[in-house]
Amino acid sequence: MSSYRQPGVVFTDRFFTVPLDHTDPGGEQIEIFGREAVASGKVNDALPWLVYLEGGPGFGARRFVGTEAWLGRAVREFRVLLLDQRGTGLSAPANRQTLPLRGGPREQAGYLAHFRSDSIVRDCELIRPRLTGGAPWTVLGQSFGGFCAVTYLSSAPEGLAAVLITGGLPSLDAHAEDVYRAAYPRIERKVAAHYDRYPQDVQRVREITAHLCEHRTESAGHRLTVEGFQSLGIMLGGGNGSHQLHYLLENAFVRTPYGTELSDSFLEAVRTATSFAGHPLYALLHEAIYGQGERPTDWAAERVRAEFPQFDAAEALKGGGPVLFTGESVHPWHFEVDPALRPLRETAQLLAGRTDWAPLYDAERLAANDVPVAAAVYHDDMYVDTGHALRTAAAIRGLRTWVTNEFEHDGLRAGGPRVLDRLLAMVRDEI
């Protein structure tokens, strides 16, 4: 355990040992990392704890510098644990380099089946008494972290003083197909809004798409296909995403002695934006987080996409219309074009075909909930369906919603102090 100071805050790095499989507590153990944050002037104070669960799946907790974003508001009254969920950050990282230690694809898939929200919650419940002495703590869940928070309410509400959710109320019973069937129309609306804002991008995107259709394009081992280029639409789910996408597109081409080519700077920016090297679990478990029961997820986003022919780039080029970007979805081709994912193709296929997923939510327990819960629901959130979120909100007794179009999915980051302040006031019935 080591501590160090940054402006306004003291961080302490902590490691915990938990079972890989919580149904076998005496079996294999893995290491979980959390970074404690406390205000500089309150290091020795007896403060309640707040645990932060990052979005994803597959992302470690944000590495803050000092009291930036929402953390400054949180440490005014909490001791905060920024938890790297298992498989992310410094918590038993799972990637193409480490997973072969488990064995072949079948062993890897079996291992990763323990990396969903149910296991994350049980990790929290082992860690909590070690920090709080047994007292319940407040959970702040962003996006997938909110999914984990609803699992927490379903399985261990006794560990919770309050729950704060931002952009992360999952459907309690939707299959992955239902999630993506609802997602594609939202993505189309976001793309239309982008083209309304930047109409010059319509032709620019058509030109880039046509070039990719005619030329095999690679950068640092990462192959850029038309579908990969379209996946840049994931940027449109953030508050500044449309502007960032526009600036990325503006220097796509460069004149060379051999004719017009896609520029190195553009290809590097696209590779950075689309690579899963830093978060491979996002790709491996993206559909598995919806798995409940015997029905496999079976590449739901890929299958459902066929129901929306307007996303067919080749047809758009033929017809003279705009090429549509796609959004937050993972497809089999990701495991062909991305060098960080290629060695994990068979593992991903086994996870997609899995038919023994445990349930993640308990509708009866949620209906009887007595933990104070407040959730920010972002109107027309590209990543989490508003209709699904509001149905879940109605199914959790006492949950209060703040439905807003002031923010996109990244509202906690973009407007963190205000978002956190409002949610805290809601669970305390101050507003």
Catalytic residues: 143, 356, 409
**Closest by CA position to 149, among listed 133, 128, 170:** 170
Sign of the four-CA dihedral 339, 341, 344, 345 = negative
How far is 164 from 168, CA to CA, in rounded Å?
10
How far is 228 from 179, CA to CA, in rounded Å?
21
How far is 97 from 344, CA to CA, in rounded Å?
10
| 61 Cβ contact list (under 8 Å, min separation 6) | 34, 35, 52, 54, 82, 83, 84, 85, 88, 89
**Closest by CA position to 352, among listed 305, 385, 279, 303:** 303
∠ CA 344-173-332, nearest 5°, is 20
How far is 166 from 151, CA to CA, in rounded Å?
15
| 299 Cβ contact list (under 8 Å, min separation 6) | 287, 331, 332, 352
How far is 29 from 120, CA to CA, in rounded Å?
14
How far is 228 from 271, CA to CA, in rounded Å?
9
How far is 354 from 349, CA to CA, in rounded Å?
9
How far is 375 from 392, CA to CA, in rounded Å?
11
| 157 Cβ contact list (under 8 Å, min separation 6) | 365, 369, 370, 371
> Beta strand 9-19 with 29-39: parallel, antiparallel or unpaired?
antiparallel
How far is 366 from 394, CA to CA, in rounded Å?
10
